[in-house]
């Protein structure tokens, strides 16, 4: 399998807090990796180091065989990394269509008719086509989460980073989201998905990693990771979300 992302011996500290310590992790092209870990384990910080919002103290970030450790976030976006944030912050006064179009222009480098077509395609894939003309500020939570994904997809990524996109949604909404992510997987996109809603991950990912104390505690088949005694210990014996 072609390697999409490789984190090589990453260390990052905020004073006394260690968010990554000699952490090494790879994601193959077309692979869907789920990341779990207790609050404060460093999951979002890891995304920030992949997307370029945060620079590791040491170690390297490789994307498609290129060392992007010192590369600015917008350049990484152009190189193929698209990410969502836990709290969606769309352009509230722009429509759903315009929000994604901006990403097509700025992230994917598209222009004119091509950008327009690309945007319509992304809205179709994320179930937002009917809301294309709605101002983002009028969307409910599920739609905002979908728009967050659509904006990341708008940049034309090879690797999509999803940060807790299922948080705060109802069960039927989570199921709809899982369908969207599975479809993206079927299209061959590489995905890393941080999620506390573990049953959504289990239905979707090929592989799961549990992070704690800045390092990988378990890595492999999702059910095997959830059953791992080290992982269960982190969740006071019950496993994440009480999965047994």
Ligand X SMILES: Nc1ncnc2c1ncn2[C@@H]1O[C@H](COP(=O)(O)OP(=O)(O)OP(=O)(O)O)[C@@H](O)[C@H]1O
- HSE-CB of 218 using CA atoms within 13 angstroms: 23
Question: What is the per-residue binding string for ligand X in 162-191, x denoting contact by CB under 6 A?
Answer: ------------------------------
Shortest Cβ 167–ligand X spacing (Å): 9
Q: Least distance (Å) from ligand X to the CB of residue 121? A: 31
Q: Which is nearer to ligand X, 158 or 232 (CB)?
A: 232
Query: Does residue number 198 form part of the binding site for ligand X (CB under 6 A)?
Result: no
In angstroms, the CA 50 to CA 144 distance is 23
Q: Which is nearer to ligand X, 43 or 185 (CB)?
A: 43
Q: How far from 36 is each of 25, 74, 193, 208, 228, CA to CA, in Å?
A: 14, 27, 9, 8, 13
3-class DSSP assignment, residue 176: helix
CA dist 224 and 74 (Å) reads 37
Residue 75 burial (CB count, 10 A): 12
- Select the residue interacting with ligand X from 2, 13, 17, 24 (CB under 6 A): 17
Binding pattern to ligand X, positions 39-68, x when CB under 6 A? xxxxxxx-----------------------
Residues of this chain that bind ligand X (CB under 6 A): 14, 17, 19, 37, 39-45
């Amino acid at each position: 399998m072609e390697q999409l992302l490789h984190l090589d011996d990453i260390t990052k500290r905020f004073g006394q807090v260690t968010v990554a310590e000699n952490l090494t992790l790879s994601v193959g092209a077309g692979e869907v990796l789920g990341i779990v870990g207790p609050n404060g384990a460093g999951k979002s910080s890891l995304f920030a180091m992949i997307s370029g919002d945060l620079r590791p103290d040491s170690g390297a970030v490789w994307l498609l065989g290129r060392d992007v450790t010192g590369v600015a976030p917008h350049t990484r976006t152009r190189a193929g990394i698209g990410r969502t944030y836990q709290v969606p912050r769309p352009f509230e006064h722009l429509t759903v269509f315009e929000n994604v179009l901006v990403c097509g222009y700025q992230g994917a480098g598209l222009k004119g008719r091509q950008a327009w077509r690309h945007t319509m395609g992304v809205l179709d894939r994320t179930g937002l086509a009917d809301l294309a003309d709605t101002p983002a500020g009028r969307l409910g939570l599920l739609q905002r989460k979908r728009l967050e994904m659509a904006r990341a997809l708008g940049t034309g990524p090879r690797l999509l980073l999803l940060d807790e996109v299922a948080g705060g949604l109802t069960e039927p909404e989570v199921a709809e989201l899982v369908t969207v992510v599975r479809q993206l997987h079927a299209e061959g996109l590489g995905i890393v998905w941080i999620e506390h809603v573990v049953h959504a991950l289990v239905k979707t990912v090929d592989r799961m990693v549990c992070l704690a104390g800045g390092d990988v505690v378990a890595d492999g088949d999702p059910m095997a990771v959830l059953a791992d005694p080290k992982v269960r210990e982190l969740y006071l014996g019950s496993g994440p979300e009480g999965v047994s």
